[in-house]
């Protein structure tokens, strides 16, 4: 990396300390989810709190702030890499410089308690146990939004934390469009003669060896080009990716002994996140450019690999003999078309994480509307359980009979995370738009039909991965696809795909 002046070099050197602490925190976090013995959670929380305090101190360090200001003053003289680094540093620093330290501490304490309360509430199927904590989390988010500042809507300030520059207005337009079109598609599918409520090949009566499922996941990872010498593959209750360093990007999956799809799809999804991180330019290591740029862009990569590749009928055509080889007893006589339908079953369901490609974004739309309304005091936390049921009926056509399957299903609110859900749908939109461009430059269907994922990965590295956080989402989408984000590409893709499957 070339630096235009000593200040910038020094600033990046000081940032290196923050970055290393974050990497250590990421390892602790990974370990917490994969290895931590049950009795050690309090002890681990103390280690995490120390690292958080050390990081915060470094952001608030006077020398660091002075350097940041100095370089900001000379912004025009910087090269493009430096400009991008400064933009990222300023964006990250905003939280530390605008939100008072006491509020950061209270937020952290509140969410620790909220997480425990949520666990109990979900276990007991008792929303009331979580309600008080949720109300406090919402209030603190409102305060954070006030400190961060916004023009139109306090929710904008929260959205921006996860996707740079994303606004409530944009989300509204996006979700209105997506909701309207997907409801239409869902209605069409539900009328198809191929529409099924359940499947013969998977479920309680069937047994898919976990060993074979593990081998299948490993096959997929190898095919995708996930570098195990710069990563780690294991199991956890909820699949996730942890980026500790470009050369240490770890993924996990989960296993269902009655169904081979969840493990395979989670593996492909998480490996999608990991390929992005593993593909970032080496020269950005331990700088403000060294990781995926936003949650939305990140999700576009996991969803691209999961859906545009993994659930693509032409790829499933390639995959069928592999699946048959791993599970001959169950699948030897099953036709590719049936495999395609198995992996692309559309069916309204109660929980987002189990939702298919078509209904998934309806779950996210619901969550967006509730969050925006809560942050703006348009609805009360007390009424959430009932509102949830009404909205589920309206959006997806099914109604949970318990809060466990309803308003308590997701952990994120207990983490204090508001403004994060919309990035899931953004990811789907970006993925569809990127795919459209890719198809202009690559014979994607042909490649997938013969299982050539290497060419696909090269294109993504070349066009997206290598840049890390150099370009913000808007700019990246413009550069890669030649236009702004456009929700029509997702709608077109889903209509085209599912109207073919559910003829």
Segment lying near a second copy (by CB under 8 A), choices 136-144, 196-204, 244-252, 364-372: 244-252
The side-by-side arrangement of strands in the sheet containing 231-235 is 231-235, 248-253, 241-245
Question: Shortest approach of a second copy to residue 53 CB, angstroms?
Answer: 9
Each residue 366-405 as x (binds a second copy by CB under 8 A) or -, in order, gives ----------------------------------------
Segment lying near a second copy (by CB under 8 A), choices 122-130, 173-181, 239-247, 452-460: 239-247
CB neighbour list of residue 92: distance below 8 Å, 6 or more residues apart: 59, 288
- Sequential DSSP letters for 6-53: HHHHHHHHHHHHHHHHHHHHHHHHHHHHHT--GGGHHHHHHHHHHHHH
CA distance 52 to 59: 11
Answer yes or no whether residue 58 interacts with a second copy by CB under 8 A.
no
> Two tokens at 4?
């235009």
CA distance 457 to 463: 10
Question: Shortest approach of a second copy to residue 253 CB, angstroms?
Answer: 16
Answer yes or no whether residue 39 interacts with a second copy by CB under 8 A.
yes
- Sequential DSSP letters for 110-178: HHHHHHHHHHHHHHHT-THHHHHHHHHHHHHHHHHHHHH--SS-HHHHHHHHHSTT--HHHHHHHHHHH
Answer yes or no whether residue 47 interacts with a second copy by CB under 8 A.
yes
Question: Shortest approach of a second copy to residue 38 CB, angstroms?
Answer: 5
Of 19 and 414, the one with the shorter C-beta distance to a second copy is: 19
Answer yes or no whether residue 20 interacts with a second copy by CB under 8 A.
yes
Which position among 82, 270, 299, 306 bears the catalytic label?
A: 270
Tell how strand 231-235 and strand 241-245 pair up: unpaired
Answer yes or no whether residue 231 interacts with a second copy by CB under 8 A.
yes
Question: Shortest approach of a second copy to residue 414 CB, angstroms?
Answer: 23
Active site residue 270: yes
Segment lying near a second copy (by CB under 8 A), choices 222-230, 298-306, 413-421, 442-450: 222-230
Question: Shortest approach of a second copy to residue 226 CB, angstroms?
Answer: 11
CB neighbour list of residue 304: distance below 8 Å, 6 or more residues apart: 272, 431, 434, 435, 460
Segment lying near a second copy (by CB under 8 A), choices 42-50, 170-178, 425-433, 486-494: 42-50
Answer yes or no whether residue 35 interacts with a second copy by CB under 8 A.
yes
> Two tokens at 244?
């500790």
Tell me the β-bridge partners of 251.
233, 241
CA distance 456 to 225: 10
Which of 40, 66, 325, 332 lies at the binding interface for a second copy (CB under 8 A)? 40
255-294: contacts with a second copy (CB under 8 A): 285-286
CA distance 275 to 301: 8
Which of 60, 247, 411, 500 lies at the binding interface for a second copy (CB under 8 A)? 247
Of 265 and 271, the one with the shorter C-beta distance to a second copy is: 271
Answer yes or no whether residue 245 interacts with a second copy by CB under 8 A.
yes
Which of 9, 29, 36, 135 lies at the binding interface for a second copy (CB under 8 A)? 36
Question: Shortest approach of a second copy to residue 463 CB, angstroms?
Answer: 24
Answer yes or no whether residue 45 interacts with a second copy by CB under 8 A.
no
Which of 58, 196, 232, 389 lies at the binding interface for a second copy (CB under 8 A)? 232
Cβ-in-10-Å burial (0-12, 13-18, 19+) of 218 comes to middle
Answer yes or no whether residue 235 interacts with a second copy by CB under 8 A.
no
Of 19 and 167, the one with the shorter C-beta distance to a second copy is: 19
CA distance 107 to 111: 6
At which residue do the structure tokens 């209904």 appear? 359
DSSP state of 353: G
Answer yes or no whether residue 23 interacts with a second copy by CB under 8 A.
yes
Catalytic residue annotation: 270
Interacting residues with a second copy (CB under 8 A) = 17, 20-21, 23-24, 27-28, 31, 35-40, 42-44, 46-47, 50-51, 54, 227-232, 244-248, 250, 285-286
């Amino acid at each position: 990396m070339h630096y235009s002046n000593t200040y910038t070099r020094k600033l990046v050197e000081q940032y290196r300390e923050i970055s290393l602490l974050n990497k250590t925190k990421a390892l602790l976090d990974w370990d917490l989810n994969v290895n931590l013995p049950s009795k050690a959670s309090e002890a681990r929380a103390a280690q995490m709190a120390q690292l958080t305090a050390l990081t915060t101190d470094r952001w608030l360090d006077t020398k660091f702030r002075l350097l940041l200001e100095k370089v900001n003053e000379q912004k025009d003289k910087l090269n493009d890499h430096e400009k991008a680094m400064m933009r990222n540093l300023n964006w990250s620093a905003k939280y530390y410089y605008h939100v008072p330290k006491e509020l950061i501490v209270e937020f952290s304490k509140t969410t620790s308690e909220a997480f425990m309360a949520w666990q109990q509430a979900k276990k007991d199927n008792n929303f009331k146990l979580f309600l008080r904590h949720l109300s406090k989390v919402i209030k603190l988010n409102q305060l954070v939004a006030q400190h961060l500042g916004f023009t139109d809507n306090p929710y904008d300030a929260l959205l921006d934390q996860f996707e740079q520059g994303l606004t409530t207005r944009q989300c509204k337009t996006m979700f209105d469009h997506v909701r309207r079109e997907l409801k239409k598609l869902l209605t069409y599918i539900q009328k198809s003669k191929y529409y099924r409520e359940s499947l013969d090949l998977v479920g309680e009566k069937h047994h898919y060896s976990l060993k074979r499922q593990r081998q299948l996941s490993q096959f997929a990872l190898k095919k995708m080009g996930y570098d195990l010498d710069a990563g780690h593959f294991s199991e956890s209750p909820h699949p996730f990716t942890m980026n500790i360093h470009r050369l240490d990007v770890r993924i996990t999956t989960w296993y269902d002994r009655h169904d081979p799809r969840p493990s395979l799809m989670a593996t492909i999804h998480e490996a999608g996140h990991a390929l992005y991180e593993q593909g970032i330019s080496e020269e950005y290591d331990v700088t403000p450019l060294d990781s995926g740029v936003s949650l939305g862009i990140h999700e576009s990569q996991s969803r691209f690999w999961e859906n545009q590749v993994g659930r693509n009928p032409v790829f499933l055509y390639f995959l069928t003999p592999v699946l048959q080889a791993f599970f001959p007893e169950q699948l030897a006589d099953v036709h590719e078309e049936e495999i395609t339908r198995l992996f692309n079953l559309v069916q309204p369901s109660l929980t987002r994480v189990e939702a298919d490609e078509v209904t998934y974004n309806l779950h996210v739309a619901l969550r967006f509307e509730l969050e925006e309304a809560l942050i703006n005091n348009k609805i009360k936390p007390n009424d959430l359980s009932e509102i949830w049921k009404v909205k589920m009926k309206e959006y997806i056509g099914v109604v949970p009979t318990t809060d466990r399957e309803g308003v308590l299903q997701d952990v994120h609110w207990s983490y204090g995370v508001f403004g994060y859900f919309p990035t899931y749908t953004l990811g789907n939109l970006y993925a569809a738009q990127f795919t459209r461009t890719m198809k202009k430059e690559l014979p994607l269907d042909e490649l997938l039909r013969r299982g050539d994922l290497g060419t696909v990965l090269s294109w993504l590295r070349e066009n997206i991965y290598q840049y890390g956080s150099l370009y913000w989402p808007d700019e990246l989408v413009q550069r890669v696809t030649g236009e702004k984000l456009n929700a029509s590409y997702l709608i077109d893709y889903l209509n085209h795909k599912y109207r073919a499957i559910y003829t």
